Chain A
Amino acid sequence: MLGKLMKYEWKSTAKIVSIILLVVAGATLVGIVGMVFPIRYIITWENGASVDDVGTNISIVLMTMTAAVAFFICVFSMVGVNYALYGYLSVRFYKTMYTDEGYLTHTLPLRTGEILRGKTIVAVAWAVILNLCVMLATGILLGMGAMAFNDVLASVGLTNLSELARAWPELKEELVSQGLVAHAVHFVLAAVITIVVTPFGTLLTIFGGLSIGQLSRKHKLLLGILTTVGLFFLHSVLSQILRVMFTFTAMMARKPTDAAALTYIGTLDAGILTSLIMGGLMYFVTYQILSKKLNLD
């Protein structure tokens, strides 16, 4: 039954989430066409032009403006899609659990835990997919941007490989000095876990807040929203406390040269632990409310 619920939840949400994913694809395209190509054009032009010509050439001004607009579209889209997805998933959770559609959800032959698990798993899966798509899009844009610069370097006799080879010893020394190489495995592992655990913590904080709102007799939605805001504040405070604790403890135990790496890793670890604590707690709270305090108007 859990599988069936997940299948329908997936199908019901796929249309809107696909639109959000299309926005990511669209923003990437805008970035490539509106940002990377103009930058390439500008760099190529600058290499062959005198400084006095800058600003007088209308095409360069247009290219610069295009690149700037494309940059803002990209940044706002990549940030906005996350808000759009979390907003959509929150509204859907509320509608299917606590409004008229809840009459169908809660009369299905499913256990409360199955309903909550099904909705959580699908919502987290979409958030992870979106995260990966945004990362991929960012990677494509950065890669294309790097290629634009490489083309220019190549035109003056430098290849990207020779540049990299030339810069590598210095880069390596920098990475080693900051402890990033020594803690690479921990860092990568923490980053990967963060991609899954952060949506889990965020979504269940929202679900939990909206569920706590159901305890109000008259202002369920208002209390739900206010509780969610309060929980995110708590989430943030807890995360900061844990970050300081992790970083301090790690720095006391290891070499001072690891400071930068331990700060990054401490932040990631604190984020993971906060998301797990808040997500787990809010799962429990939501489950208890659904099991013992469900009151559909």
Chain B
Amino acid sequence: MNNLIELNAVTKSYDGKTAAVDHVTLSLPRGRIIGLLGPNGSGKTTLIKMLNGLLLPTSGEIRVCGMPIGSETKAKVAYLPDRTYLAGNQTITQILDFFADFYADFSRERAEQMLGSLRIDPKARMNSLSKGTKEKVQLILVMSRNAELYVLDEPIAGVDPAARDYILHTILSNYNPQSTVLISTHLISDIEQVLDEVIFMRYGRLVLYTSVENIRREKGKSVDAYFREVFAC
């Protein structure tokens, strides 16, 4: 079985009436960079949280690396949430120690190298850093793991265009080709160049799952242009 992620009729409803994710069935292979795209409220973040065990599906089944979500899958998934999840009073060095202790696939050397190239002081405390630098630190922590699945929720939303290029370069140069990177974002034009495949979601439902190449060939458009056409208000 080569599929890294298997979703079978996955539904999530917060209030028992409206489904944030509605009967999504999907299989994602290894070795791809996949864009998870959709307008606000389309269910992207809900789906990502379920993949990481932060939300439990109302119905359906999720498997990562052939296993239901649990401590074994969490050891194989590197997750970058859309918020700062590190304690503000900790130094970056302390956080590196923490990641090195808990994640067997964490490369401290790689993290220190990336921190150096971005001129981020490892002795700095998280609460002394700007929002953009915090996001960079979190991305460095995630991309310093040799994970099987990287799940990045809005990795470039809060940083300047120059930093975006660095982040995309970091993603491309650090992920294992046998791994899959799932990126959720609104900034399609910025990341389109690195994507192999895209998933379109709307109202919690799967609209489209295809390769970037297919969209360009069959629709004669960029992913960004096609997205605007599909989701035109």
Q: Which residues of A contact B (CB under 8 A)?
A: 1, 4, 8, 12, 100-104, 106-111, 114, 217, 292-296
Contact = CB atoms under 8 A, between A and B. Distances in A.
Interface in B52-80: 52-56, 70-72, 74-75, 77, 79
B15 A12 contact: no
Most B Cβ at <10 Å: residue of A103, A106, A110, A294? A103
A111 B101 contact: no
Given A292-B56, A296-B54, A109 B74 contact: yes
Contact of A104 (B15, B71, B72, B85): B85
Given A103-B81, A294-B54, 8 more contacts: A4-B101, A4-B102, A8-B101, A101-B85, A104-B85, A108-B74, A110-B102, A111-B70
Nearest to A106: B54
**Interface residue SS majority, chain A:** loop
B77 A107 contact: yes
B86 interface: yes
Nearest to B16: A217
Interface residues of B, number: 25
B14 interface: yes
A217 B101 contact: no
A107 B14 contact: no
B214 interface: no
A297 to B, nearest CB: 9
Nearest to B70: A111
Interface string B8-52: 000000110000000000000000000000000000000001001
A109 B102 contact: yes
A216 to B, nearest CB: 11
A292 B56 CA distance: 7
A296 B49 contact: yes
Contact of B79 (A107, A111, A295): A107
15 contacts: A4-B102, A100-B81, A103-B54, A104-B86, A106-B53, A107-B53, A107-B74, A108-B102, A109-B72, A109-B74, A109-B103, A111-B71, A114-B71, A294-B55, A296-B55
Listed residue (B70, B85, B98) with the most chain A CB atoms within 10 angstroms of its CB: B85
A93 to B, nearest CB: 14
A281 B7 CA distance: 34
B1 interface: no
Contacts of A293: 56
Contacts of B85: 100-104
A217 B85 CA distance: 21
B87 interface: yes
Contacts of B102: 1, 4, 108-110
Closest 6 CB pairs of A and B: A109-B75, A103-B85, A296-B54, A109-B74, A104-B85, A103-B81
A111 B54 CA distance: 13
Interface string B131-145: 000000000000000
B83 A100 contact: yes
A295 B55 contact: yes
Contacts of B84: 100
Nearest to B54: A296
B74 A12 contact: no
Contacts of B71: 109-111, 114
Given A110-B71, A111-B71, A294-B54, A217 B15 contact: yes
Nearest to A296: B54
Contact of A103 (B70, B77, B83, B103): B83
Nearest to A110: B71
Contacts of A111: 70-71
